[in-house]
Structure 1
Amino acid sequence: MQSNPARSPFGNASPDRPQYLRTVIVAAPSLLALVLAYGFIVWNANKGFDITDESFYLLNIFYPNRNIGAVSEFGQYLGLFSDFYPHNVPFLRIFGVAFILCVSVYYSIFASRYLSSQFLIRTLLIIAFAISTLSIFRFWLITPSYNTFVLAGAMIVAASVIRSINRAGLLGEEIRIADALAIGGVLVAIGRPTSAIAVGGVAGLWIACVCPYRQTLRIGVAAVCVFILLFLLHAAFLGGGVEPFLTRVNFAKDLAATLDAGHTFGDAIGRVLTALRDVPGQMFSTPSLAGALVTLIVFFIGWPPRLHLNEKRMAQSCVAGVAALVAVTAYSTHVVQAVSSWGNLGVRLVLLLLGQFLFFKLAARLNGETFPKSNPEVANSSPVITALALASIALVAPFGGTGVMIGNSGTAFPLYVGSALFLAMAIIPPARWLLRVSVIYLLAFLPVLFLFYVSMMPYRLPESMSHQTNPITLAGSDSPILVDGATANWVNALRSGALEHGWSEGTPLIDMTGATPGAALVLGANAPVTPWIVGGYKGSKSFAASVLAAAGSEILKDAWILTAPTGAAKNDEAVLSEAGLDFPSGYEIAAEVTTGYRKEKQLLWKPVRKND
């Protein structure tokens, strides 16, 4: 009697059918990590209150029409939900988490489609990409912000670039690519318009480098037309009309230029030298290098003992791709950002795209490929080109913001993960599925571990999340949130002192501390022009003067003032006198408080007589 062949311990071992049992066993830990990580965030959605960045985001959401000095329009959209759930911070946080998770699933489906045809690997990839999106909460800022829209849009744009590089140009596919590019571009523009310019330019550059000219032209024209249509609809229905929308954007742009003023050419040269010196340290401190290092390690571990000629060229292409990735990182994020204080935005963008183009050509030369325009899939080098494109989009996503681009680009970790995985899957043969699984798990668990780490040292909170146990309510809110003891004392003292001196919601408040927009949120104040008069920059005094001038004398004469006599980011109080206010002689101290974060002494001043 003929015996039955031995069965695989992981179920059906036939290569023609998905090995479901093995998939369940191998994917279960990653799925559990996904559920626990997102569940941990949702469980803590009612904890913590940052008086700086997060408060600025919440003021944009709860009072989007008051903030005429914000070039970012994310508050217009999230403000729609605040009409149904007024000032409900936990709901907004959970909504933001759900929104970015849904977009990450969209991105992961398209990325995994071109990474592997194996059912097990594709399942793990989708879960890994969803987990990697946790990087946006790397400072435990889970309230949705402009960064949420920038990352969501960048992932949609990246998915379109992946499709354009790895798929033949059918007309229907071109339209879908163009539509996704436009939708992603609008989302990025809602978050930060300068990022939309950079992300769109870099994505267009990579598509133009690998697609035939006519196909590139069709995609580009369709994407631009859809983008303009969507943005006009946004401006007309949520921006109060196209003309008021453009007026608000131009005003915010002028304020940003004022804030960044005061630097000389010599300052820029010094910043360039400092940036170049700091390249190694910055790269070791961000996920970009982590992705490159993981890929290099995998390259040496997974090197087959005998390579055919084509496999050798692929391996060389991958190594060259990693080298180009590091070079693009150093150039794009340091040298260009270093001259941002004096360079025109258009000049900076040209430099950025020029650098991307030169490194693309360098990678092409190292790979020994000519990248013929007649071949949209670029022969065997499409994984390398896709990896470089994803890394480039991630690197330029913070373009136009404050701070160092390479550090801020850590928010786009899902794109870095995609870059590393395209290289890794190209290097590791499908037969070595265990090594492929190990790489995916390594990249997936990094953000999970970091998430639990930052919960113990959250950004701009004096205590860990476990110490957020004191309930407070924000002005106009019926949903309490839990904060640490020091923050609760600051909130209660500020509010009680203001109420004892006749404070009422909607009263104007001028924050001269330079870093406490949370005061307006606690008191329910009307912050003229912008909720955050940023301090600590060379152009901060001019910025504050511009805000006060735009507010007008009628608002200023009734405004209360918050100061920080010894604050590190305080604004120059001389601008108050220059604006016609009799400060401090025309005011009395209504409250003297100390913040939890920064441990900064602050004074709340009430006008005792009308200013002339």
Structure 2
Amino acid sequence: MKVFEAAAFCASLAASFCLLIWVLLLCRHGIDLTDEGFYLNWIAAPQEYRASISQFGFVYHPLYRLVGQNVILLRQANVLIIFFCAFLVALATLHTLRPGRSEPGSNLPVRGLFAPAFLTASGALAFLDLWLPTPNYNSLAFTSLMIASIGAILSGAASPRLRFGGWFIIGAGGALAFLAKPPGAVLLGTLVMAYTTAVGRFSIRGLLVSCLTALLILIFAALAIDGSVSAFVARIEHGFELSTLMAAGQSLGNLFHLDHFNLSQEQHVNFQRLLVLAFVMSVLTASARPALRIVSAIIAAIASAIVVSVSLGWMNPTISYEPFQPLMFCAILFATIVAALFFSPWRRALLSREILATTVFFIAMPYVYALGTNNNYWQQGARAGFFWLLAGVVLKSAPAAKEGALARWHLTPILAAALLATTGIVLASAEHPYRQTAALRMQTTATEFGTGGRQLLASAEVGAYVRSLKTIAVDNGFAPGSPVIDLSGVSPGAVYSLGGKAPGAAWLSAGYPGSSNFLKAALADVDCAQLAASWLLTEPASPDSFPLDVLSPFGIDVLRDYEDVGAVQAVRAFAPVKFEQRLYKPVRDVKDAIEACERARMAKP
């Protein structure tokens, strides 16, 4: 019997490894010229911007430099960072559930938990639900929550050094959460304090360690970013002002809200299937009858074989992209809870204050992650559904730990089910990548993206668009590092692909009620010399693009001061699908342009 269970566990572990490699290879393919263009502009030159709520550009800029400004390596590094943090929080969680771990003299080896922790960490790859693998404020927020969770778990360790380290890690995670999304950091701190109090780990000394750690990290960040704490605070305040001008629904009054979710018929079916599968496997694994446990192991092995087949490209099932897909992790959590109610030993283990508090702590984390977005909280929070999987791991591990029989393969049922769910989520995002016209596997056109001849594999449409735009720019004297004002409002990636800089804001987003006010306020932070040297990218036929006269407050008359040097026709995945963009080159004498800009600013009431 144990041979079958061990074999199923090894099969799941191999499937987890294949899934990770598959995701890393997918990082070579595809690019979204809207959101990912914004991320890359921010990360490539964060020092260009005076206003920002999230500081993810500064956090990831050293990594960007370390990988030689290679977008593919940057994405792969982001995936590995997320996976490694997920591995550590899973390892810490499993270790706290080990029999005898609360005894100061016990030296239970942690290495025996590496494999199940690695397998559990695969669930974090569901974060790529939209296929936006480039580092961003969401990936930083997700990473920071996992780091803070590691600290919260370690705060109850038997070793005083580990407990101290736990509070230190909580502070570090909180600081990173603030740099990602300040509102989320506040709620994270509240949740951690509630959790440590509920499990009897709260201490004033630990709180001081966490607060001091977070404060020192934020002070260091403020000095590194702006040279002073006051300037850093002004940056964030100005960022909130610009966000309010945009009127995109991201105001302080909209932070806390309860949303609804509607699963499609296909999602309902998949949810039910996963729920039944996880429940049946959990019940069979807990059975005292060897034959039933063997059946559970066989089912897990089959699930793992499916994951391997999809990851290696041997199987490519038709799958649609639906919102709320990461909610599949809730099916695993529900199955674990229901299965636990079937067995009295499980019910007794679940009455533990620590088990209940840890479960609730992980269940609440996706809401912390979603806080601050103007999207549906269920849709956004589900991308951090890895925490729901951790809650299921806690519930599944608790009975075995209480009986002193924590084994590597007792988690195989829910982790095999989680592998299936994660694979389905990644497959759907790879087949229907966000705002892209083709599946990632179909995007094979080598495209130079950014500076230094670095390439990625894009769709034929994106490849042709980038090449045409670059040809027009280079033929007309465009130099890398030149500022480009994107008046199309939807193409920050075009600026990055040219090797240019986006003045004022990494994305001058159009289509919102306050977009014009946002653009004017953002460009008001740019010195006149940079504005005078700026090229323009326009999209005349788009109803949501910025009109040319939006630049008149800066002394710019586009028809007089610029030369239309060429047009690019292309297609994309959102309306208008067929579009034409035009590139404008500044032709006015730089000195005259600067003087006109300064006069216009002085004349402004």
Q: TM-score range by the shorter chain?
A: 0.7 to 0.9
Q: Give the letter aligned to residue 456 of structure 2.
A: I
For residues 547 and 372 of structure 2, the distance between their equivalents in structure 1, rounded to whole angstroms, comes to 26
For residues 42 and 234 of structure 1, the distance between their equivalents in structure 2, rounded to whole angstroms, comes to 30
For residues 263 and 476 of structure 1, the distance between their equivalents in structure 2, rounded to whole angstroms, comes to 33
**Local SS of the residue matching 1:544:** helix
Q: Give the letter aligned to residue 37 of structure 1.
A: L
Does residue 607 (structure 1) correspond to residue 586 (structure 2)? The answer is yes
Worse-superposed segment, 531-540 or 549-558 = 549-558
Q: Relative to structure 1, is the Cα distance of residues 476 and 291 closer, same or farther in structure 2, using a 3 angstrom cutoff? A: closer
Is contact 1:590-1:604 (8 Å) kept? yes
For residues 43 and 264 of structure 1, the distance between their equivalents in structure 2, rounded to whole angstroms, comes to 38
State the match for 1:391 in structure 2: 363
For residues 181 and 414 of structure 2, the distance between their equivalents in structure 1, rounded to whole angstroms, comes to 33
**Local SS of the residue matching 2:370:** coil
For residues 289 and 473 of structure 1, the distance between their equivalents in structure 2, rounded to whole angstroms, comes to 37
Worse-superposed segment, 565-574 or 398-407 = 565-574
Q: How far apart are residue 33 of structure 1 and its match?
A: 1.5
Does residue 99 (structure 1) correspond to residue 137 (structure 2)? The answer is no
For residues 406 and 197 of structure 2, the distance between their equivalents in structure 1, rounded to whole angstroms, comes to 34
For residues 179 and 16 of structure 2, the distance between their equivalents in structure 1, rounded to whole angstroms, comes to 28
Q: How far apart are residue 420 of structure 1 and its match?
A: 2.5
Instruction: Give 1:229-378 correspondences, 5 Å limit.
Output: 229-237=216-224, 239-260=226-247, 278-281=260-263, 285-286=323-324, 289-301=327-339, 303-304=341-342, 307=344
- Normalising by structure 1, what TM-score? 0.76
Does residue 458 (structure 1) correspond to residue 433 (structure 2)? The answer is yes
Q: CA RMSD in A?
A: 3.4
Q: Relative to structure 1, is the Cα distance of residues 173 and 404 closer, same or farther in structure 2, using a 3 angstrom cutoff? A: same
State the match for 2:297 in structure 1: none
Offset from partner CA, 1:525-546 (integer Å, 9 cap, x none): 2211212012222222211110
Is contact 1:116-1:122 (8 Å) kept? no
> What runs of 5+ residues in structure 2 fail to find an aligned partner?
101-109, 269-322, 597-605
State the match for 1:226 in structure 2: 213
For residues 506 and 529 of structure 1, the distance between their equivalents in structure 2, rounded to whole angstroms, comes to 14
Q: Give the letter aligned to residue 143 of structure 2.
A: A
Q: Relative to structure 1, is the Cα distance of residues 386 and 432 closer, same or farther in structure 2, using a 3 angstrom cutoff? A: closer
Offset from partner CA, 1:304-357 (integer Å, 9 cap, x none): 46x48xx65767x7xxxxxxxxxxxxxxxxxxxxxxxxxxxxxxxxxxxxxxxx
Is contact 1:86-1:477 (8 Å) kept? no
Is contact 2:31-2:458 (8 Å) kept? yes
Q: Relative to structure 1, is the Cα distance of residues 229 and 590 closer, same or farther in structure 2, using a 3 angstrom cutoff? A: same
Q: How far apart are residue 231 of structure 1 and its match?
A: 1.8
State the match for 1:200 in structure 2: 189
- Normalising by structure 2, what TM-score? 0.77
Q: How far apart are residue 132 of structure 1 and its match?
A: 0.8
> What runs of 5+ residues in structure 1 fail to find an aligned partner?
1-8, 11-20, 318-379
For residues 46 and 294 of structure 1, the distance between their equivalents in structure 2, rounded to whole angstroms, comes to 31
Offset from partner CA, 1:200-229 (integer Å, 9 cap, x none): 2222233234437xx442222221011111
Aligned with residue 136 of structure 1, among 114, 127, 130: 127
Q: Give the letter aligned to residue 247 of structure 2.
A: D
Aligned with residue 174 of structure 2, among 185, 192, 195: 185
For residues 125 and 314 of structure 1, the distance between their equivalents in structure 2, rounded to whole angstroms, comes to 21
Q: How far apart are residue 415 of structure 1 and its match?
A: 1.1
Q: How far apart are residue 155 of structure 1 and its match?
A: 0.7
Q: Relative to structure 1, is the Cα distance of residues 56 and 438 closer, same or farther in structure 2, using a 3 angstrom cutoff? A: same
Aligned with residue 456 of structure 2, among 466, 481, 499: 481
**Local SS of the residue matching 2:524:** helix
State the match for 1:560 in structure 2: 535
Q: How far apart are residue 475 of structure 1 and its match?
A: 3.6
Q: How far apart are residue 124 of structure 1 and its match?
A: 5.9
**Local SS of the residue matching 2:494:** helix
Q: How far apart are residue 123 of structure 1 and its match?
A: 5.7
Worse-superposed segment, 383-392 or 123-132 = 123-132
Percent identity of paired positions between Structure 1 and Structure 2: 21
Q: Give the letter aligned to residue 157 of structure 1.
A: A
Q: How far apart are residue 488 of structure 1 and its match?
A: 0.9
Aligned with residue 150 of structure 1, among 141, 153, 162: 141
For residues 334 and 451 of structure 2, the distance between their equivalents in structure 1, rounded to whole angstroms, comes to 53
State the match for 2:280 in structure 1: none
Q: Give the letter aligned to residue 293 of structure 1.
A: A
**Local SS of the residue matching 1:593:** strand
Is contact 2:325-2:425 (8 Å) kept? no
State the match for 2:491 in structure 1: 516
State the match for 2:307 in structure 1: none
Aligned with residue 15 of structure 2, among 18, 28, 33: 33
Q: How far apart are residue 490 of structure 1 and its match?
A: 0.8
Q: Relative to structure 1, is the Cα distance of residues 531 and 421 closer, same or farther in structure 2, using a 3 angstrom cutoff? A: same
**Local SS of the residue matching 1:200:** helix
For residues 56 and 230 of structure 2, the distance between their equivalents in structure 1, rounded to whole angstroms, comes to 18
Instruction: Give 1:433-582 correspondences, 5 Å limit.
Output: 436-567=411-542, 569-571=544-546, 573-582=548-557
**Local SS of the residue matching 1:550:** coil
Q: How far apart are residue 461 of structure 1 and its match?
A: 1.7
For residues 364 and 247 of structure 2, the distance between their equivalents in structure 1, rounded to whole angstroms, comes to 25
Q: Relative to structure 1, is the Cα distance of residues 142 and 295 closer, same or farther in structure 2, using a 3 angstrom cutoff? A: closer
Q: Relative to structure 1, is the Cα distance of residues 262 and 246 closer, same or farther in structure 2, using a 3 angstrom cutoff? A: closer
Q: Relative to structure 1, is the Cα distance of residues 263 and 482 closer, same or farther in structure 2, using a 3 angstrom cutoff? A: closer
For residues 4 and 341 of structure 2, the distance between their equivalents in structure 1, rounded to whole angstroms, comes to 25
For residues 262 and 208 of structure 2, the distance between their equivalents in structure 1, rounded to whole angstroms, comes to 40
Q: Relative to structure 1, is the Cα distance of residues 506 and 156 closer, same or farther in structure 2, using a 3 angstrom cutoff? A: closer
Does residue 416 (structure 1) correspond to residue 388 (structure 2)? The answer is yes
For residues 226 and 199 of structure 1, the distance between their equivalents in structure 2, rounded to whole angstroms, comes to 15
Offset from partner CA, 1:157-195 (integer Å, 9 cap, x none): 12233344x667x75454222101011112222322332
